[in-house]
């Protein structure tokens, strides 16, 4: 740690940028240490999760995301959302956390030595995992949970298909779907079928060898995290009254990326027997969901898969690994 005081301002090391840029242009800098607002907790960051959202925040692509992130330049200088660390200080309205508590959750700017998080966006860290594992959980596991339970209405005994099953969201979705009592099939690349089975999937389909929509099996619920496939292809694998939840997908144009597919799904859904739904991670009930995930992790039903760790000074390499190597599970930055 290198926090220091310059001209009365306490500073810290962080990844900073003032414009949308390539992840390769990200560098470490020295910035003022954030100060917790009344409802916030200042966290000494130990680990920060990396997921495709980080790439979108850094590049400002597709352009449609700039509506929320800042049209001309990013509103938040330090990227990174998922955090695990120790509470350093709390705002005056914070009642649930005290300095020294180990926490995990989401915040604005976790690629730095300190970050401020709203108290309802964090929860006590699962006691049986490392900070690195805890930082792998928030965005990916919350997305898997809300996608299966809230958007998908998952029920015991259903046949559930998860695309991108070896990825960040997918590795949590496979495990969570099993805890809901579903029969789970995971779709992934050739090198990840063993991983997907080891997470509890009843079947793993290598998409380079087998088409899950070949008509041999239909699913009550499909969670599509890999994107890229046309709606018609996904619907062929769905039962007549089944539910498709579109989570995401990389690639596509600079303006909309996969969002046009999501808009088509919403427009089509009222006119077909199948339910075509779009997943948008909600901040509602986040603390409750983080506590739910913490219990599943502590009970051993869900285990975060950390594919690799990179130090804070190597965030560009971490992002490159996530996008280009696509290892199974999550990449985490250690601080």
Would you say 53 or 126 has its CB closer to ligand NAP? Answer: 53
* DSSP assignment of 162-182: EETTTSHHHHHHHHHHHHTT-
- Rule CB under 6 A: say whether 204 interacts with ligand NAP: no
- Rule CB under 6 A: say whether 228 interacts with ligand NAP: yes
- State which H helix or E strand residue 158 sits in: none
User: Which one among 121, 178, 192, 261 touches ligand NAP, defined by CB under 6 A?
Assistant: 192
Closest CB 33 distance from ligand NAP, rounded Å: 29
The window from 30-38, 128-136, 223-231, 266-274 that contacts ligand NAP (CB under 6 A) reads 223-231
Would you say 87 or 222 has its CB closer to ligand NAP? Answer: 222
Closest CB 330 distance from ligand NAP, rounded Å: 7
Residue of minimal Cβ distance to ligand NAP: 167
- Rule CB under 6 A: say whether 106 interacts with ligand NAP: no
Structure token pair of residue 300: 């051993």
Q: Kindly tell me the sign of the dihedral angle through the C-alpha atoms of 227, 173, 188, 240.
A: negative
**Burial bucket for residue 157 (CB in 10 Å: 0-12, 13-18, 19+):** exposed
Closest CA to 79 of 45, 122, 41: 45
Angle, helices 138-145/286-298, rounded to nearest 10 degrees? 100
User: Which one among 110, 140, 259, 303 touches ligand NAP, defined by CB under 6 A?
Assistant: 140
- ∠ Cα 142 203 319 (to 5°): 45
- Rule CB under 6 A: say whether 23 interacts with ligand NAP: no
SS3 label, residue 211: coil
- Rule CB under 6 A: say whether 53 interacts with ligand NAP: yes
- Rule CB under 6 A: say whether 326 interacts with ligand NAP: yes
Would you say 169 or 182 has its CB closer to ligand NAP? Answer: 169
The Cα 75–Cα 308 span in angstroms is 29
- Rule CB under 6 A: say whether 325 interacts with ligand NAP: no
- Which residues of the chain form contacts with ligand NAP (CB under 6 A)? 51-53, 139-140, 143, 164, 166-170, 188-189, 192, 225-228, 247-251, 279-281, 322, 326
């Amino acid at each position: 740690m290198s926090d220091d005081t310059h001209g009365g301002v306490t500073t810290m090391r962080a990844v900073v940028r003032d414009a949308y840029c390539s992840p390769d242009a990200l560098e470490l800098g020295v910035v003022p240490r954030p100060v917790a607002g009344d409802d916030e907790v200042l966290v000494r960051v130990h680990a920060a999760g990396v997921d495709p959202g980080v790439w979108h925040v850094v590049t400002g692509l597709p352009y449609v995301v700039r509506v929320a992130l800042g049209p001309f330049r990013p509103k938040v200088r330090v990227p990174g959302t998922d955090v695990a660390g120790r509470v350093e200080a709390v705002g005056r309205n914070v009642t649930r956390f005290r300095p020294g508590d180990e926490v995990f959750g989401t915040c604005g700017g976790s690629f730095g030595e300190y970050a401020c998080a709203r108290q309802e966006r964090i929860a006590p860290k699962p006691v049986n995992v490392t900070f690195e594992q805890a930082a792998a959980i928030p965005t990916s596991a919350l997305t898997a949970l809300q996608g299966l339970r809230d958007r998908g209405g998952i029920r015991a005994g259903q046949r559930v298909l998860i695309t991108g099953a070896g990825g960040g969201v997918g590795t949590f979705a496979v495990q969570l779907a099993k805890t809901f009592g579903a029969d789970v099939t995971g779709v992934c690349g050739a090198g990840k079928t063993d991983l997907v089975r080891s997470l509890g999937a009843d079947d793993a389909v290598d998409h380079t060898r087998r088409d899950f929509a070949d008509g041999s099996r239909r699913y009550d619920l499909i969670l599509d995290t890999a994107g890229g496939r046309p709606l018609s292809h996904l619907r062929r694998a769905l039962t007549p009254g089944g539910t498709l939840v579109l989570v995401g997908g990389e690639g596509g144009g600079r303006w909309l990326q996969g969002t046009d597919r999501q808009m088509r799904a919403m427009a089509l859904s009222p006119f077909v027997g199948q339910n075509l739904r779009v997943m948008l991670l909600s901040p509602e009930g986040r603390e409750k969901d983080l506590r739910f995930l913490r219990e599943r992790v502590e009970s051993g039903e869900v285990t975060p898969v950390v594919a690799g760790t990179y130090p804070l000074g190597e965030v560009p390499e971490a992002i490159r690994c996530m996008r280009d190597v696509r290892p199974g599970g999550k990449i985490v930055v250690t601080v």
